[in-house]
């Protein structure tokens, strides 16, 4: 195999080198367009006047480093970059508030005439956005990236006799809620020498600041009120930093240092470095995440592969031959990885409903942390595709809001019988960054959050994380449900007054609630066993789990959504919450729970393949767990055809990032699954069963995937041909044993730390 790969690369190398120098886009790792994004109605959403911005949502391209984000439009005569900071939130511990649009960077250019050979591109391998065109016989080039090492956005603009203006605009001044309380907030915009500073304080006391520094080469730079004016330059460099004084710590009242001097220091430090130094550090750090995973399911015909992305999407949507652009399907997965790396980093807040990018100060659903699936879906693919560090930011957020929820829950929640909820904590459906919650209780939401803490441990096998972070939360939420569950005369335990999001009656024993509590108990029992602690309480939880009301099969063979057999076979609601136990839970496992598996299929078929973007993404994972790669592929195709904008943002509508990230999760489930845990483990067996290619679509006959991860702390590289596993190379950070299944065949593999093992059947 290695010799074959070397031979192919030898043949392709001259072509690849030529492509790089010619600016040809990598069809699986870049988005490119032959026109700028539309700027019509740019400020409509931020002013709260309603409506969506066509260019922003559908055409502009995102950059980010987890905390600072931008949406670039790429206009030739004027570049506009819409700006976000992950912690720019209104609200507090009681009022949910909403995520906010920070503002805009405007760069206008004089005397840019007719443009030809226009090209804007987002290179996913380097996380760099570029714009190139020719005007007046001169070549113009721009590049933009947002650096993690230097915590700045960097723009370089080169051309002939560059002249124009640089202006910052504060979008928060357009916020009616903030504007009506001017006496309680401060706002300023000032320019001096080569620097512009924009700062303010929200009604909730949150301070924010943006600092921009420009360096003009071969020309002049001056001030005109609060704008910078550049003339006759051959190159313009802009460094921008923005932040708030938010810290993820209730004990510090969620506040830290004044951000104004911090962001100024960042731009000053960046400006002292060469552009090559900044770029190299950015690429090296970014690729330490991006290069962990590769995925190949075939090559697209060269002519089609080099079409602009919007045209490729249109062709894909219209083409009845769904396998004619495999690089496009790879691109969608790689774009999801790019988005995750760009909006969820250690030390930053996790991805919200729109990740990091929001053009409104009155966003849909507050652009919040929606606990009834959306924020969880954001992170389903992160661990399987080797981005545990990105997933950690969600875990850190859970630990941060845990403290205020522990304080607030006894004041807000009363259990059946009138007792105050003194143990554990609960959340509502809408949640902010201060522990504040909004619309409608989602009592099992905290247990679903706890699942992600346990998954972080299951994939990484970090014992310290299990002991200090995962286990305490699992136990306290088990205690919450120990107090809340209602016992019937026959001993059955039911969740009282539940609701199947986001429809149906409020009643006892809703399947969604029952399955999440079952999952919580499973995770707690396993965590206690792995740590060797609390055996008595773990036995009690195991007894309670056995008494939980079990999923029921209804009159038409369906998996019931409610305890009462009332499911309507014509109901096509976007939430399929009663299948939680199939995915992301592990109560219903193919090959183990045959009756429930068949009922789940009937329910899914009744719901159909329609729905919102994120709903279709979820259904990909459902069919993958059902080991039906053909149907999973159909859902992928349906999703891409009907729920992706030209910039490849998934839409609900409106744009929600969970659809992008959930789609990648479905792909991961098709390739590797590891959710089955063996009840009895022998001396040479792994507690986790790793399934290789459990739902490989027929259209992906040949391919490979490198860098997939499985529970038990195992990394897997796969190669297959004619839909049959050729080999798997498995790695582990410690000595361990893996139980491997593929196509009904099974073997036990002993792994040694740092030594890859080749698995063949």
Mean local confidence (pLDDT), 391-400 = 98
What is the DSSP pairing of strand 152-170 with strand 187-192? unpaired
Percent of the chain residues topping a pLDDT of 70: 92
Q: What is residue 25's predicted lDDT score, i.e. its pLDDT?
A: 85
Domain spanning 33-288: which CATH class is it, in words? mainly beta
Mean local confidence (pLDDT), 421-427 = 97
Mean local confidence (pLDDT), 91-116 = 95
Band the pLDDT of 680: cuts 50, 70, 90: low
Number of helical H runs and strand E runs in the chain = 19, 31
**Is the pLDDT assigned to residue 15 strictly greater than 60?**
no
Band the pLDDT of 186: cuts 50, 70, 90: low
- pLDDT tens for residues 205-222? 999 999 999 999 999 999
Which residues sit opposite 238 in a β-bridge?
Answer: 155, 214
Q: DSSP class of residue 468?
A: I
Q: What is residue 180's predicted lDDT score, i.e. its pLDDT?
A: 47
- pLDDT tens for residues 613-650? 999 999 999 999 999 999 999 999 999 999 999 999 99
Band the pLDDT of 52: cuts 50, 70, 90: very low
| Domain assignments of the chain as residue spans, ordered by start | 33-288, 360-669, 688-759
Q: How many residues does the chain have?
A: 761
Q: What is residue 687's predicted lDDT score, i.e. its pLDDT?
A: 82
Q: What is residue 47's predicted lDDT score, i.e. its pLDDT?
A: 36
Q: What is the 3-state secondary structure (H, E, C) of 172-209?
A: HHHCHHHHCCHHHCCEEEEEECCEEEEEEECCCCCEEE
Percent of the chain residues topping a pLDDT of 90: 87
**Is the pLDDT assigned to residue 179 strictly greater than 60?**
no
C-alpha triplet 120, 145, 42: angle, nearest 5°? 60
Mean local confidence (pLDDT), 384-403 = 98
**Is the pLDDT assigned to residue 138 strictly greater than 80?**
yes
Residues 30 and 24 sit within 8 Å (Cβ to Cβ): no
C-alpha triplet 570, 574, 575: angle, nearest 5°? 105
Would you put residue 253 in left (φ > 0), alpha (ψ -120 to 50) or beta? left
Other C-beta atoms lying within 10 Å of the C-beta of residue 678: 12
**What would be the CATH architecture of the domain defined by 360-669?**
Alpha/alpha barrel (1.50)
- pLDDT tens for residues 21-41? 345 789 999 999 999 999 754
C-alpha triplet 749, 753, 758: angle, nearest 5°? 40
**Is the pLDDT assigned to residue 604 strictly greater than 50?**
yes
Other C-beta atoms lying within 10 Å of the C-beta of residue 557: 14
What is the DSSP pairing of strand 103-109 with strand 152-170? antiparallel
**Is the pLDDT assigned to residue 51 strictly greater than 50?**
no
Q: What is residue 391's predicted lDDT score, i.e. its pLDDT?
A: 98
Task: Compute the mean pLDDT over every residue in the chain, rounded to the nearest whole number.
Answer: 92
Mean local confidence (pLDDT), 748-756 = 92
Quickly tell me which residue has 């511990």 as its tokens: 93
Q: What is residue 183's predicted lDDT score, i.e. its pLDDT?
A: 38
Q: What ranges make up the beta strands (E) of 373-502?
A: 427-428, 430-431, 441-442, 486-487, 493-494, 498-500
Higher pLDDT, 180 or 448: 448
Band the pLDDT of 681: cuts 50, 70, 90: low
3-state secondary structure of 164: strand
Mean local confidence (pLDDT), 466-491 = 97
Q: Give the whole-angstrom CA distance, residue 706 versus residue 168.
A: 43
Mean local confidence (pLDDT), 419-443 = 96
Q: What is residue 435's predicted lDDT score, i.e. its pLDDT?
A: 96
Mean local confidence (pLDDT), 540-565 = 98
Band the pLDDT of 594: cuts 50, 70, 90: very high
**Is the pLDDT assigned to residue 103 strictly greater than 50?**
yes
**Is the pLDDT assigned to residue 80 strictly greater than 70?**
yes
What order of strands is seen across the sheet that includes strand 688-692?
672-677, 688-692, 736-742, 745-751
Band the pLDDT of 534: cuts 50, 70, 90: very high
Band the pLDDT of 4: cuts 50, 70, 90: very low
Name the least confident of 70-74, 484-488, 674-678, 689-693. Answer: 674-678
**Is the pLDDT assigned to residue 293 strictly greater than 60?**
yes
Write the CATH number of the domain with boundaries 688-759: 2.60.40.1180
Query: Among residues 515, 524, 563, which one has the least CA distance to residue 542?
Result: 524
What is the DSSP pairing of strand 78-85 with strand 138-147? unpaired
Q: What is residue 270's predicted lDDT score, i.e. its pLDDT?
A: 98
Q: What is residue 480's predicted lDDT score, i.e. its pLDDT?
A: 98
Name the strand (E) or helix (H) holding 12. Answer: helix 2-22
**Is the pLDDT assigned to residue 14 strictly greater than 50?**
no
Mean local confidence (pLDDT), 605-609 = 96
**Is the pLDDT assigned to residue 5 strictly greater than 60?**
no
């Amino acid at each position: 195999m290695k010799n074959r790969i070397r031979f192919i690369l030898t043949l392709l190398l001259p072509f690849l080198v030529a492509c790089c120098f010619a600016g040809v886009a990598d069809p699986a790792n870049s988005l490119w367009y032959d026109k700028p994004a539309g700027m019509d109605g740019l400020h409509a959403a931020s002013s709260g006047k309603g409506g969506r911005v066509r260019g922003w949502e559908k055409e502009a391209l995102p950059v980010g480093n987890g905390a600072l984000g931008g949406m670039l439009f790429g206009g030739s005569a004027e570049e506009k970059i819409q700006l976000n900071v992950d912690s720019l939130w209104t609200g507090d511990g009681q009022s949910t508030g909403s995520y906010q649009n920070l503002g805009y960077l405007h760069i206008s250019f004089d005397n840019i005439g007719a443009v030809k050979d226009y090209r804007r591109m987002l290179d996913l391998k380097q996380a760099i956005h570029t714009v190139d065109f020719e005007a007046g016989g001169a070549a113009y080039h721009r590049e933009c990236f947002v650096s993690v090492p230097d915590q700045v956005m960097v723009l370089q603009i080169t051309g002939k006799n560059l002249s124009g203006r640089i202006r910052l605009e504060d979008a928060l001044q357009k916020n009616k809620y903030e504007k009506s309380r001017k006496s309680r907030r401060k706002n300023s915009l000032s320019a001096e020498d080569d620097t512009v500073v924009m700062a303010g304080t929200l009604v909730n006391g949150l301070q924010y600041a943006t600092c921009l520094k420009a360096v003009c080469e071969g020309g002049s730079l001056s001030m005109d009120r609060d704008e910078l004016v550049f003339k006759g330059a051959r190159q313009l460099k802009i460094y921008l930093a923005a932040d708030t004084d938010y810290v993820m710590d209730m004990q510090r009242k969620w506040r830290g240092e004044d951000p104004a001097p911090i962001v100024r220091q960042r731009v000053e430090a960046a400006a002292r470095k060469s552009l090559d130094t900044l770029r190299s550090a950015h690429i090296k750090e970014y690729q330490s995440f991006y290069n962990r995973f590769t995925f190949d399911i075939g090559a697209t015909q060269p002519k089609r592969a080099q079409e602009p992305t919007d045209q490729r999407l249109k062709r894909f949507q219209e083409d009845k031959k769904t396998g004619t652009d495999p690089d496009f399907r790879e691109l969608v997965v790689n774009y999801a990885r790019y988005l995750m790396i760009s909006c969820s980093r250690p030390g930053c807040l996790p991805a919200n409903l729109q990740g990091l990018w929001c053009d409104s100060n009155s966003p849909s659903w507050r652009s919040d942390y929606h606990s009834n699936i959306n924020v969880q879906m954001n992170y389903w693919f992160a661990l399987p595709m080797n981005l545990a560090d990105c997933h950690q930011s969600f875990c850190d957020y859970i630990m941060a809001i845990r403290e205020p929820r522990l304080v607030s829950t006894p004041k807000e929640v009363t259990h059946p019988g009138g007792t105050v909820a003194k143990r554990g904590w609960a959340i509502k459906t809408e949640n902010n960054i201060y522990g504040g919650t909004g619309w409608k209780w989602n009592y099992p939401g905290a247990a679903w959050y706890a699942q992600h803490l346990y998954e972080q441990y299951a994939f990484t096998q970090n014992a310290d994380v299990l002991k200090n972070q995962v286990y305490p939360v699992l136990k306290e939420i088990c205690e919450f449900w120990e107090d809340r569950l209602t016992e019937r005369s026959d001993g059955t335990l039911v969740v009282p007054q539940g609701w199947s999001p986001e429809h149906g009656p409020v009643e006892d024993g809703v399947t969604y609630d029952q399955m999440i509590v079952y999952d919580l108990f499973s995770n707690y029992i396993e965590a206690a066993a792995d740590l060797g602690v609390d055996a008595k309480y773990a036995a009690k939880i195991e007894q309670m789990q056995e008494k939980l009301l079990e999923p029921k099969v209804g009159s038409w063979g369906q998996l019931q959504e409610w305890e009462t057999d009332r499911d309507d076979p014509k109901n096509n609601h976007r939430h399929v919450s009663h299948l939680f136990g199939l995915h992301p839970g592990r109560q219903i496992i193919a090959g183990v729970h045959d009756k429930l598996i068949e009922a789940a299929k009937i329910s899914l078929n009744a719901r159909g393949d329609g729905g919102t973007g994120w709903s279709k993404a979820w259904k990909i994972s459902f069919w993958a767990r059902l080991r039906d790669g053909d149907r999973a592929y159909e859902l992928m195709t349906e999703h891409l055809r009907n729920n992706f904008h030209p910039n490849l943002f998934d839409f609900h509508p409106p744009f929600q990032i969970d659809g992008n990230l959930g789609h990648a999760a479905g792909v991961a489930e098709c390739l590797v699954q590891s959710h089955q845990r063996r009840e009895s483990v022998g001396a040479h067996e792994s507690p986790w069963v790793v399934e290789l290619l459990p739902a490989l679509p027929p259209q992906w006959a040949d391919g490979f995937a490198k860098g997939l991860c499985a529970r038990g702390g195992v990394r897997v590289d796969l190669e297959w041909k004619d839909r049959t596993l050729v080999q798997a190379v498995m790695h582990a950070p410690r000595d361990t044993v893996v139980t491997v299944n593929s196509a009904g065949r099974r073997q036990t593999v002993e792994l040694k730390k740092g030594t890859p093992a080749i698995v063949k059947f």
